[in-house]
Amino acid sequence: MSSNASNPRGPYLKPKNMGRRTAASIPKTKRKNTNVSRVKRDREEALRREQEALNELVRIADIRTRYMRGTIGAVDPILVYADFDENAGFLHDTNPKEFPEWNELTDAAKARIGFLLSLAFNGYSFTANVSGELERKWAKQGLKPRDRAIDKINKELKEVGLGNAPYFFVIEAKGRSGRSRTHLHLHGYCLLTSGHEATRFKTALEKALYRNLKVPKGHGPPVKIGPSFKKSDDPKDATYWAGYSLKNALLPGPKIEGTPLYLNTPLRQLAHEFWDIVRDVD
């Protein structure tokens, strides 16, 4: 009788060999992609370090704000981020030169920096759902959701006179926990000058992503927008809303190909200028 007959489970599980067999020696055994896991860990570590650095920046700015209010009264929201070295060793120990250069930052960090501007200048934060009809159309045509969202949003912003409005979003297809799949939706923020502009921005998002506005029964409005300062209620992280938006950025879901982040050029320019102020770049 052959060994296969005596061992119905196959030659790879012969009793005399079981102690020496490994998963690598068994055909078709699924193995974890260590390279992918390592890259994911490295990215998570980079994001963690950047978040800690920005939290330290905000902590120092809060200290300087309280100090400056006691000495000069009203405080410019950007001035508290300038000339950090004047108070180094007195109010704090951090030197602005210790922060990374702009080109060394990830887009996630740049998004958090931009959100600080949104807080300083009464920006607005938003959540926007993509209609199921539009989502199915993009999938059928093999289109990338992020790229299509950018094209449609930019087109509608021009229609309402906000073509140069600085804004950021992350598109995802996962829920808050990151484990459950959902429909496509965006989280982001924009730098505007008034509630009237916020209304026009909301209209542009609705026309771009939910044009027919036929909301399924039991669902909330497809687009929600409100002042960014209401999205910074976490005392340990002033950039909470940007962090929430980025929660699934590394793994946005199978519906998303490539990076799910988008910072438009006007926002990048403003955030870059702000970062140069922080780092005291001439």
Measure the CA–CA gap between 104 and 102, rounded to whole angstroms.
Answer: 5
Cβ contact 31:55 at 8 Å: no
pLDDT digits (tens, 9 = 90+) for 91-132: 556 677 778 889 988 888 899 889 888 888 878 999 999 998
**Alpha helix (H) residue ranges in 73-106:** none
Cβ contact 169:187 at 8 Å: yes
3-state secondary structure of 96: helix
Whole-angstrom Cα Rg for the chain? 25
- Beta-carbon contacts of 5 under 8 Å, excluding residues fewer than 6 positions away, are none
Would you say residue 25 has pLDDT above 50?
Answer: no
Q: What single-letter amino acid sits at 275?
A: W
pLDDT score for 26: 44
Handedness of CA 97, 238, 181, 170 (dihedral sign): negative
Q: If pLDDT is split at 50, 70 and 90, which confidence band does 42 have?
A: confident
Helix crossing, 145-159 with 132-140: angle to 10°? Answer: 120
pLDDT score for 191: 95
Handedness of CA 125, 129, 135, 137 (dihedral sign): negative
121: exposed, middle or buried (C-beta count within 10 Å: 0-12, 13-18, 19+)?
middle
- Please give the backbone phi and psi of residue 235, each rounded to the nearest 5 degrees, phi first: -65, -20
Question: Of the segments 71-80, 169-178, 206-215, which one has the largest average pLDDT value?
Answer: 206-215
pLDDT score for 269: 97
Cβ contact 95:189 at 8 Å: no
- Please give the backbone phi and psi of residue 252, each rounded to the nearest 5 degrees, phi first: -75, -10
User: Where is average pLDDT lowest: 84-88, 151-155, 179-183?
Assistant: 84-88
pLDDT digits (tens, 9 = 90+) for 238-265: 566 777 667 666 665 667 776 788 999 9
Please give the mean pLDDT across all residues of the chain: 76
Cβ contact 259:144 at 8 Å: no
Would you say residue 48 has pLDDT above 80?
Answer: no
Which DSSP letter does residue 114 get? H
Helix crossing, 145-159 with 195-209: angle to 10°? Answer: 130
Express as a percent the part of the chain with pLDDT over 90: 30
Nearest to 136 by CA among 127, 148, 126: 148
Measure the CA–CA gap between 202 and 208, rounded to whole angstroms.
Answer: 10
Q: If pLDDT is split at 50, 70 and 90, which confidence band does 77 have?
A: confident
